[in-house]
Amino acid sequence: MTYLRIWLSSALSIACVLASGCGSSSGDDVERVGLGADVALPQRRGTLLLDGCVIDAWSRSTLALPSTKRVASEIILLCAVPRGDGTVGPRDESATRALSSLVDDLHREGYRAHLGVAFTDESGQRYDGAQASASLADPVWRARFRETLGTVAAPFDGVELDLQALPNDARASVTALVSELSPVVRPQKSLSVFVPPSVTEPSDLPGGDAFARRELAPHVDRMRIMTLDFSEAGPGPTIDPGWAVDAVRLALADFPACDVSYPLYGTDFGPRGRRSATWFEAMALGGAPRTPIERGPTGAPFVRFSGFGGELHELWFDDATSTARALGAWTFDVLPPSVGVLYYGLGAEDPALFESLAARIP
């Protein structure tokens, strides 16, 4: 994810629970704001997102767990891309067969399967805003997109649009794409759109006003609010629970069927930029005596370490404890029952996550 978010300070502090070591803090503030470690979790609609077209054996084992099925009922495969001419791939015969077989497997496991369309080129690079905006503004491009998406999406239960890095003046084109696609996809399948996590009107995010939520509302089934990448200007947590509530509440004013997004991946901040990281990487780094795992103000764990050439890094991530504390704070009086949770980045998570969450759902 690449939604810009400037780090905001938090007044929260929590007690550390990892035996590998961390800074100490009082639990009083945690309990006061509902981030206690032992609270029951509200039962919410859960969706898992996998960034790709292939589910490896490890994640297939995770999906087979009864605890995972208790937490989530659908999975998004973010793997389709629109080409420069508007046609949607993958389109070759072998890829089509493989995707259809994978969807069959997910159905047998009891999940709904949605096709995510990421507006990237075929090398996986995000289209820049100007190029994507020009494509969306072209009626011929949008027509090719509609016509060819149906073939790729045929075995799936829903379609998810992941549009990013757009300028605000793409607003009319985004609305046109979604409104024209809606009667093609629905009601046989669901149609959802990923929406930037604005917390103000006008939006506080570059390109946030490219998404007219109220105008999009009649044409979609859900809006996935991308409450991710909270810290981009410098090291910090991938999500702030309070900020996420603000972003979802603003969206709820326009549409009741929204999801709050929660990261399963971590972020490694280094002098050459940022990269996504997994829980396993963090654990491997945090096991050394000189690189203890610490916890930040929101409870997210992190580890400081020296990389290649002695470059200093901070790797921030989430585990079962920090995730459960955030979800436990989102009680129904904070976010209504209509709000679901999108767990972003299947495969990067703490392996104890879903069993831990399921055990605390009444």
What pLDDT shows up at residue 165? 87
What pLDDT shows up at residue 36? 57
When the pLDDT of each residue in the chain is averaged and rounded to a whole number, the result is 89
- Flag the least confident range among 18-27, 204-213, 300-309, 339-348: 18-27
Q: d(Cα 162, Cα 273) in Å, to the nearest integer?
A: 23
Q: Residue 192 in 3-state DSSP?
A: strand
Residue 6 is assigned to a structural domain of this protein: no
Q: d(Cα 133, Cα 90) in Å, to the nearest integer?
A: 22
Q: Residue 154 in 3-state DSSP?
A: coil
Q: What's 169's domain CATH number?
A: 3.20.20.80
Residue type, position 359, single letter: A
Residue type, position 278, single letter: T
Residue type, position 186, single letter: R
Of 270, 292, 361, 290, nearest to 323 by C-alpha is 361
pLDDT surpassing 90 at residue 257: yes
For the residues 340-351, what does the mean pLDDT come to?
98
Q: d(Cα 275, Cα 266) in Å, to the nearest integer?
A: 8
Q: Which residue has the higher pLDDT, 309 or 37?
A: 309
How far apart, in Å, are the Cα atoms of 82 and each of 41, 44, 103, 117, 123?
38, 32, 21, 8, 12
Residue 175 is assigned to a structural domain of this protein: yes
Q: Which residue has the higher pLDDT, 111 or 12?
A: 111
Percent of the chain with pLDDT over 70: 90
Most confident stretch, 57-61, 90-94, 116-120: 57-61
Q: Residue 235 in 3-state DSSP?
A: coil
Q: What is the pTM of this model?
A: 0.90
Residue 303 is assigned to a structural domain of this protein: no
Give start and end residues of each alpha helix (H) in 186-311.
Answer: 213-216, 241-252, 279-286
For the residues 256-270, what does the mean pLDDT come to?
97
Do you know the residue count of the chain? Answer: 362
How far apart, in Å, are the Cα atoms of 57 and each of 53, 60, 347, 353, 360?
13, 5, 10, 17, 27
pLDDT surpassing 50 at residue 23: no
What pLDDT shows up at residue 360? 96
Residue 103 is assigned to a structural domain of this protein: yes
- Return the structure tokens found at 321: 């404890």
Q: d(Cα 222, Cα 57) in Å, to the nearest integer?
A: 30
Q: Which residue has the higher pLDDT, 300 or 19?
A: 300
pLDDT surpassing 70 at residue 348: yes
Q: Residue 257 in 3-state DSSP?
A: coil
Contacts 24+ apart (CB under 8 A), 300-307: 300/237, 300/238, 300/239, 301/18, 301/22, 302/235, 302/237, 307/270
How many domains does the chain divide into?
A: 1
In angstroms, how far apart are the furthest CA atoms of the chain? 60
Residue 346 is assigned to a structural domain of this protein: yes
Strand partners, 115: 77, 159
pLDDT surpassing 90 at residue 5: no
What pLDDT shows up at residue 28? 44
Residue 336 is assigned to a structural domain of this protein: yes
Q: What is the pLDDT of residues 289-345, one digit of tens each?
A: 778 999 999 999 999 999 889 999 999 999 999 999 999 999 999 999 999 999 999
Q: Residue 96 in 3-state DSSP?
A: helix
Name the one residue in this structure whose structure tokens are 């990923």. 194
Name the one residue in this structure whose structure tokens are 């007690």. 15
Q: Which residue has the higher pLDDT, 51 or 34?
A: 51
Residue 84 is assigned to a structural domain of this protein: yes
Q: Which residue has the higher pLDDT, 7 or 144?
A: 144
Domain that holds residue 51: 39-264+319-360
Strand partners, 277: 266
Residue type, position 180, single letter: E
What pLDDT shows up at residue 308? 86
For the residues 40-44, what does the mean pLDDT come to?
96
pLDDT surpassing 70 at residue 32: no
Contact call for residues 16 and 295 (beta carbons, < 8 A): yes
Q: d(Cα 2, Cα 148) in Å, to the nearest integer?
A: 27
Would you state the torsion angle of the CA atoms of residues 162, 208, 8, 275, taken in this order, to the nearest 10 degrees? 30
Residue 197 is assigned to a structural domain of this protein: yes
Name the one residue in this structure whose structure tokens are 């039962």. 43
Burial class for 176, CB neighbours closer than 10 Å (0-12, 13-18, 19+): middle
Residue type, position 284, single letter: A
pLDDT surpassing 90 at residue 72: yes
What pLDDT shows up at residue 35? 58
